[in-house]
Amino acid sequence: MAMTLDPDARSAIRTALARQSYRDGDVRLTEPDLKGARWLVSTQNGLFALDEHSAHLVAHGWFFGLCRRANRVFLFENCARRERWRPMGRLIAMDLVDGVLTAPVVLATGLDASCHQIAFIDDLLCVLDTANQCVLRFAEDGAAVDVQRPFPTASASDSGGNYMHINAIAEVAGGIAIMAHNGKRVPSRPSELILLDRQWKETGRHALPEPGCHDIAADTDGTLWHCASESGDIIDANGRRIAVAPGRMTRGLSVAEDRILVGASVFGPRSERDLLPGSIIMLDRDFQSVANIPLDGPPAVIIAL
């Protein structure tokens, strides 16, 4: 008879394994063959590869930031898991050779465990250090370059509006865009898309319809899409709103010519989200659902391969 572990026991085992891999410098690949897959998805319970109908686990870990540059895949992993005050975040890179992820390497360690998205901008790997409200920049080989501070430092416990919970970063229209979640402010304030120039100076802000938004994804015509997470919707820069997962949280968004992928998960306390299920809702370009693929964890970032 198979033994069923309670949620706290499962979480404790995952934490112990994550910390062991951090100490040993291991990347816990399970099935690195991505042939036939079109997307990668980072979640709090692993990295998954997706085709049009199903998903498979590629690597164990609590992953958030995920991006691809040429034939390399880059990840941010939180090895502290729930105990995010521990500086056990790390950057990982893997080569994609003939459809198989290989040669995993740890590029940097000792990062804040609450870092969110990552992106290459001006040939540097930019890591959104959410808790410290700054951007860490690294060379492709993991060498630290500098820290950009486009916003004043604020405590993550601040509810007066100084702490913005920046959670998404992208290169857009010759500049840089960062999403300010703004969900911790009391009273609440809508999320904002903050625009920066190449010198990381703020050039403008665009208020979104509600707080708690995630993601910056460009459509084929350049239109930006975001997850209106608290409503279970996606929204675009022109005011269009598409209901995707009513009653669930949308986070993770990929837009392509033939498909839009949206991550969906159950609402729950931040400290317990590693125990919550998730799925990828796949839409056609008429915004009709064509698949709902379950995942063992809340989706964070979706990228096309």
- Side by side, the strands of the sheet bearing 118-121 are 118-121, 124-129, 134-138, 144-148
Taking the alpha carbons at both ends of the chain, their separation in whole angstroms is 40
Q: Phi first, then psi: what are they for 17, rounded to 5°?
A: -70, -40
Predicted local confidence at residue 286, as pLDDT: 97
Nearest Cα to Cα of residue 303 among 65, 28, 44: 65
Q: Locate the domains of the chain by residue range.
A: 7-304
Nearest Cα to Cα of residue 255 among 295, 297, 227: 227
C-alpha 217: how far from its chain's center? 12
Cα 125 to Cα 68, 112, 154, 215, 244, distances in angstroms: 10, 16, 23, 18, 31
Predicted local confidence at residue 1, as pLDDT: 43
- Coil vs helix vs strand at 245: coil
* 77 pLDDT more than 90: yes
Q: Phi first, then psi: what are they for 231, rounded to 5°?
A: -95, -10
Predicted local confidence at residue 268, as pLDDT: 67
Beta strand ranges found along 189-296 (DSSP E) = 192-196, 202-207, 214-218, 224-228, 233-236, 241-243, 249-255, 260-265, 278-283, 289-295
User: Ranked by mean pLDDT, which of 260-269, 273-282, 288-297 comes out on top?
Assistant: 288-297
CATH of the domain spanning 7-304: 2.120.10.30
For residues 39 and 18, what is the distance between their CA atoms, to the nearest angstrom? 24
pLDDT tens sequence across 255-277:
999 999 999 999 766 556 566 78
Confidence of residue 183 (pLDDT cuts 50, 70, 90): confident
What is the secondary structure of 89-136 as a DSSP string? EEEEEEEEETTEEEEEEEEEEEE-TT---EEEETTEEEEEETTTTEEE
pLDDT tens sequence across 86-141:
899 999 999 999 999 999 999 999 999 999 999 999 999 999 999 999 999 999 99
Cis peptide bond prior to 187, omega within 30° of 0: yes
Q: How many CA atoms lie within 13 A of 233 on its CB side?
A: 13
For residues 14 and 126, what is the distance between their CA atoms, to the nearest angstrom? 27
Predicted local confidence at residue 156, as pLDDT: 86
